[in-house]
Structure formats: C-alpha cells, structure tokens
Amino acid sequence: MEDPRVRTVVVAGAGGLIGTRLVASFLADGVRVRRLVRPGASGGARQDGVTSVPWDPDRGVLAPDALDDADVVVNLGGAGIGDRRWTRRYRATLRSSRLAGTGLLARELARRGPEAPALVQASAMGLYGDRGDEPLPETARRGDGFLADLVTDWEAATDPARDAGVRVVLLRTSLVLTPDGGALGRLLPLLRLGLGGPLGDGHEFWSWITLHDHVRAIRHLATSGVHGPVNLATPDPVRNAELTRALARALHRPAVLRVPAPALRLALGGFVGDILASARLVPRVLEADGFRWEHPRLEEAVAWLVGRDTSR
C-alpha cells in the first residue's frame, strides 16, 4: 500500500478504534504521522515516526506549524456515538466534539489555499436516516432526526476548506465490523455465549465495512483525487437478522433470542435509533474509483471477524 505521494500525515482522533489502526498502517509503510492531541489527552506510547502536537479545538487553538509539510490531514475526531446514553448534555458533546475540531482544521486549511493538503474528514451514514429498502448512493437526499442534523452540520463545517479550493473527502462511514469494539464488539461476546440474536425486528438493512477495509479505503482516498461524500460500505448490505445469523453460524452458536426494540431503547437510549435504522448504502464513488474490498461479502467478513480468515 506504500504510496510515495504520502510521506507525512496529520491525524486527529488517532487514539480511537479506527485511528489506532490507521496510524499503524501508515507507520508500517514508513509514513511519518503527526498526531493532534487535545488538552489532558494522552499522547500515547512513544513510537518511531510519530510526533504529538497539542491542539485545543474548543478554544480555537492550533499550532501555526501543525500542518506544515503534511501531504494529507485525516480528521477522525469526535465523541463516540455509542459510548454513552444520549442525554441532552451528551448530545451537546457529540456536536461540539465534531464541529469545533472540524471547523478549526477547515479554516486553517483554507488559510493555506489550494496548495494545502487534502482533508479526509470523518462523517457517518446517519445523514441518511431510516430509509427502509431504498438504495442510498452518495447523491441521496439527507434524512431526518438528530443524527441526520448532526452529520449535516458536521460536513458543513468543512465548507471553508472546500470553498478555498482544498480537496475535501467526507467519509460517510457505515457499521464498522471489528471484534475489538463498536456495536459489533458488544454483540460478539453475547453470540459466543449463545445469547445474541437479531436486534429489533431484524429486517433493517445494515450497511457495513470491516475495519481492515475501512483503513484501506482511507489510505486509497488520501491520494485518489476523489472529493466530496464517499459511502464507506461494501456492495453487500444485509439485513441485521442475516448478519447475526451468519456470525452465530461461524461461532457454532444459536441466534434465536431476538432483542426487542423497547429493551434496546432502555439500554441504549438515543443510540438505538442508529442501531435500528435501515440504511442500504451504495458505495458508488469507491466502486467508480477502482477500490477493491478484501472483505466484500458477508462470508469473508465473518471469517475475518472470528479469526478464520487465512489471507490476513
């Protein structure tokens, strides 16, 4: 995956689930990584090729040389959607943790003009809302609800950079399949015990991508020339009952205990709307740009998730 066009990358949100794997991928190819670290956050263990630069998005503070000599800026920052119940205070945190950092980076890139590094910016499929069986390419209209409003404003925070001629890529991320965390990281332990099953009525379309392919897609988009929204999903969306059954089969466990929506609402609060929303993403931009998934179909992803993928 080594690409001579990327020698130095700036990463915000480098300590998260995706950011950790992305940084490791860049380092494995000899790319220098500059981590943006918020006040009070750990800079992580010392690593060859990694430097930490403090920034404070809430105060609009970013070192003048933070983006110097960078070939691309990847912003994955933001409080976790599923980390806590969606109280009024946490909804405000979800907004501020995204909009402040994104806006600060966009303004700094705009100041540098068209020669500034590209911005590869996290976004989410929550923009589309709950859309049933409707195919959703990147040109689909936005949906309704808190997440749709949040993602719309999040993407709009990049406008200063885009208006200044900076290449901006918006990563409309689907469910990221990984055994290490996220929604699936919570489901796998239950399935291993034979206690898991479809969520809600099981008919919702779940668009997904493995963490392995998500990182590969970011690396691809960093140098591809693509700009604008990109659906980070495979061409194989499935209904949530199908996904849980496939995981259970791979683990040689039953998946018959359906988790009803009221129980999910009690446990997860507002986040249940994201889990139970039906979003059938079409990754038209990635396909047109020649990206090739290593886990394009559910059976390949499940084999990787449960450790039976001999190609990795």
Tell me which residue has tokens 């709950």.
Answer: 130
Residue 266: is its pLDDT beyond 60?
no
Least confident of 7-16, 98-107, 110-119, 179-188: 179-188
Read off the pTM: 0.89
| DSSP character string of 284-301 | HHHHHTT---SS-SHHHH
Domains contained in the chain, number: 1
Residue 97 lies inside a defined structural domain of this protein: yes
Least confident of 45-49, 165-169, 171-175, 187-191: 187-191
Q: What local confidence, expressed as pLDDT, does residue 303 receive?
A: 85
Q: What local confidence, expressed as pLDDT, does residue 264 receive?
A: 54
Least confident of 90-94, 118-122, 248-252: 248-252
Neighbours of 144 (CB within 10 A): 11
Least confident of 162-176, 224-238, 274-288: 274-288
Averaged pLDDT for residues 100-109 = 98
Least confident of 72-81, 175-184, 224-233: 175-184
Q: What local confidence, expressed as pLDDT, does residue 307 receive?
A: 77
- Residue 256: which pLDDT band, with cuts at 50, 70 and 90? low
- pLDDT tens-place string over residues 60-70: 999 999 999 99
SS3 state at 63: coil
Q: What local confidence, expressed as pLDDT, does residue 243 receive?
A: 80
Residue 138: is its pLDDT beyond 70?
yes
Residues in Cβ contact with 46 at an 8 Å cutoff, skipping those fewer than 6 apart: none
Q: What local confidence, expressed as pLDDT, does residue 59 receive?
A: 95
SS3 state at 115: helix
Asked if 130 and 143 count as a contact pair (C-beta separation under 8 A), the reply is yes
Residue 59 lies inside a defined structural domain of this protein: yes
Look at 246 and 71; give whichever has higher pLDDT: 71
Residue 30 lies inside a defined structural domain of this protein: yes
Q: What local confidence, expressed as pLDDT, does residue 179 receive?
A: 74
- Closest-CA residue to 220 (of 287, 143, 153): 287
Least confident of 2-6, 257-261, 286-290: 257-261
Mean pLDDT score of the chain:
86
Q: Which domain holds residue 116?
A: 8-178+207-236+279-294
Look at 129 and 248; give whichever has higher pLDDT: 129
Residue 248: is its pLDDT beyond 80?
no
Cα 187 to Cα 90, 177, 182, 198, 262: the distances in Å are 23, 11, 9, 10, 17
Residue 173 belongs to a domain with what CATH number?
A: 3.40.50.720
Tell me which residue has tokens 């931009």.
Answer: 285
- pLDDT tens-place string over residues 283-312: 999 999 999 999 999 889 888 887 754 444
Residues in Cβ contact with 27 at an 8 Å cutoff, skipping those fewer than 6 apart: 33, 47, 48, 49, 50
- Closest-CA residue to 206 (of 179, 229, 184): 184
Residue 230: is its pLDDT beyond 80?
yes
Look at 206 and 33; give whichever has higher pLDDT: 33
Tell me which residue has tokens 């404003």.
Answer: 153
Residue 194 lies inside a defined structural domain of this protein: no
Q: What are phi and psi of 38, to 5 degrees?
A: -75, 160
Least confident of 50-54, 107-111, 290-294, 301-305: 301-305
Q: In whole angstroms, how large is the CA radius of gyration of the chain?
A: 19
- Closest-CA residue to 172 (of 146, 199, 145, 154): 154
Residue 287 lies inside a defined structural domain of this protein: yes
Asked if 121 and 158 count as a contact pair (C-beta separation under 8 A), the reply is yes
Residue 268 lies inside a defined structural domain of this protein: no
Q: What local confidence, expressed as pLDDT, does residue 4 receive?
A: 66
Neighbours of 2 (CB within 10 A): 10
Pick the most confident of 30-34, 177-181, 237-241, 271-275: 30-34
SS3 state at 117: coil
Residue 302 lies inside a defined structural domain of this protein: no
Averaged pLDDT for residues 49-59 = 95
Look at 46 and 195; give whichever has higher pLDDT: 46
- Closest-CA residue to 192 (of 150, 139, 248, 140): 248
